Chains A and B, each alone.
Chain A
């Protein structure tokens, strides 16, 4: 048995619509090692969040996981009963969401919302004990006077504080894996870096593995051990953070990195990838990125199967840095 906490193999999640099936996640395979942080990067609609939800069986109808395996510590979550999945959620795999304004129930106090996370999994824990654990967890994510904050309502806290509460809640049962769905997107920049370092610290202290979903390569650059890049429901490139950031091979990754403002001379126009994300509905055999790709060739009419080039996962016929780049 390897050291994988999570091994996803050929995951396909499909949304049945009137216009036809939408392959939101189309054959994604990835692994997360114990204590490792995987950055899952892509634009809006690339299927990165749906991948996260698929793991926990939280995809909303009409979407459903159509194919593939989700092996969590060797157990295939696709075959798990709803009861078993419920036991895993929050206990072994926890989630943090994008908008801290929306993830805490506005009419319930913080203590209620944290205690229930403990008691949902261990009914033998008394209220007092659960409260103590909640207080500890809040202190750990850097919330001042955690005891008083426990009796606050969400609207009495700032966005950054709420996200800390969400992180504390996610960590309260010491899960093996945390899926963080763009947890810093809705926060302003100074708070973003605080939340990042809190999450990083928590993962290190508890040896928790994490999937950090984001559209911002800059965010994961310093945080992730491994980065996976998604485009139109497909994984296009995956490698160590170093490989992806300093030496991107897929033209899309390359374009993404070039689009990060800050690497430009002052006054120079910001770079944008030409064209628009294609409709997933209309996608066929071709490489989804081919319409926007500068290195497109005739071969691109058929997207390559997975390829491992230079010890990384890459799905491209004409990778950067090989031909005439």
Chain B
């Protein structure tokens, strides 16, 4: 187990350093941030002052060295626009994005898993066929369009839920979160649902396929022959096996939810990281882009580690660190 951890941390460091290099150079070849920052009528002296201020006059290799040096202290540089440390700006927005992602993840499990189970257990029932047909919509409808439709329906026509922004927050364990206020939850409902739609469809399809495969197995027949109730067979024998692929996929999808909730955050004016990123990209605020991408890499690496650990809990055949079975 310890060996597994050490190896994983080593691998993770390698991934992070590679990513840092790619991101730094990738971002530095795109566009000219100075042109975006100075006033259109600025003279040459003014432009050169700005270039010097941001350290853009140094050779790129030296800039990279400074960037790496900063990284070791957790310093990603200051935002060109706000003049504040980039990582702090992002971390300020992180709770909002996290709760959006967690909300969407919970929705996809709570809605997707039962529907997928039903569709898998009764594949020929018309209800199951309806579920499957709807899940195709979930896959194919574009997020932005569904988001607008949700706002039109629930906010504009029915007036049930607020359309934009984040609701009241309370401080829980030092994090500002809206998960524990009613106002916060009503604000969260629509964007989380919008973000979850694709994941719900994914979970439905995955669960259904997995259930159908599991139900064919001999051990299900053996369980029946033991006289177990159908409920117990599904709850104990099927569900645990079905959860294995779902945990893997949802783990990775959770990373995606955090990293790429950009569209949903824009539509619902959700003050999360995605919205910050979009603005940063438009204004070529390099430190923010770099810090954001680095943070996402760390998130993915961490989630993968958690998924691997969850595996061992679910599937006894998987033992970490290549121990002999």
Contact = CB atoms under 8 A, between A and B. Distances in A.
A107 B240 contact: yes
Contacts of B232: 116, 120
Contacts of B325: 155-156
A91 interface: yes
Contacts of B218: 97-99, 102-103
A90 B225 contact: yes
Interface string B293-325: 000000000000000000000111100000001
B317 A116 contact: no
Given A95-B225, A107-B316, A153-B316, 18 more contacts: A56-B225, A58-B224, A91-B227, A98-B218, A102-B217, A102-B218, A103-B218, A103-B222, A104-B219, A105-B223, A106-B241, A106-B315, A108-B236, A109-B316, A112-B236, A116-B236, A117-B226, A155-B317
A196 to B, nearest CB: 20
14 contacts: A94-B225, A97-B221, A103-B219, A104-B222, A106-B317, A107-B244, A107-B314, A107-B316, A107-B317, A108-B240, A116-B226, A120-B228, A153-B317, A156-B325
B317 A97 contact: no
A199 B100 CA distance: 59
A195 interface: no
A58 B229 CA distance: 13
B256 to A, nearest CB: 27
B240 A89 contact: no
A88 interface: yes
A87 interface: yes
Given A112-B236, A116-B236, A120-B232, A155 B219 contact: no
Nearest to A93: B225
Contacts of A107: 240-241, 244, 314-317
B311 to A, nearest CB: 11
Contacts of B217: 102
Contacts of A117: 226-228
Given A95-B222, A97-B222, A166-B222, A105 B227 contact: no
Contact of A89 (B224, B314, B316): B224
A86 interface: yes
Given A120-B232, A156-B325, A90 B317 contact: no
A91 B229 CA distance: 13
B130 to A, nearest CB: 21
Contacts of B240: 107-108
B237 interface: yes
A169 interface: yes
A89 B317 CA distance: 29
Contacts of B222: 95, 97, 103-104, 166
Nearest to A117: B226
B319 to A, nearest CB: 10
Contacts of A156: 325
B247 to A, nearest CB: 12
Interface string B220-253: 0111111111001000110011001000000000
Interface in A98-132: 98-99, 102-109, 112, 116-117, 120-121
Contacts of A108: 236-237, 240
A90 B224 CA distance: 8
A94 B244 CA distance: 30
A90 B227 contact: yes
A102 B227 contact: no
A173 to B, nearest CB: 8
A91 B314 CA distance: 30
Nearest to B221: A58
Considering residues B222, B236, B316, B325, which has the most beta carbons from chain A within 10 angstroms of its beta carbon?
A: B222
A56 B224 CA distance: 10
A37 B296 CA distance: 66
A86 B227 contact: yes
Nearest to A90: B227
Nearest to B223: A105
Nearest to A114: B226
A116 B228 contact: yes
Interchain residue pairs A-B with the least CB separation, the first 5 = A90-B227, A102-B218, A95-B225, A89-B227, A90-B226
A148 B287 CA distance: 58
B316 A121 contact: no
B316 A106 contact: yes
Interface string B243-276: 0100000000000000000000000000000000
Interface in A43-82: 56, 58
A120 B237 contact: no
A120 B227 CA distance: 6
A160 B224 CA distance: 22
Nearest to B222: A103
B237 A105 contact: yes
A91 B225 CA distance: 9
B203 to A, nearest CB: 19
Nearest to A109: B316
Contacts of A99: 218
Contact of B226 (A94, A102, A106): A94
Contacts of B223: 105, 116
Contacts of B314: 107
B227 A87 contact: yes
Nearest to B316: A153
Nearest to B214: A105
Contacts of B229: 86, 120
A208 to B, nearest CB: 15
A297 B65 CA distance: 96
Contacts of A89: 224-227
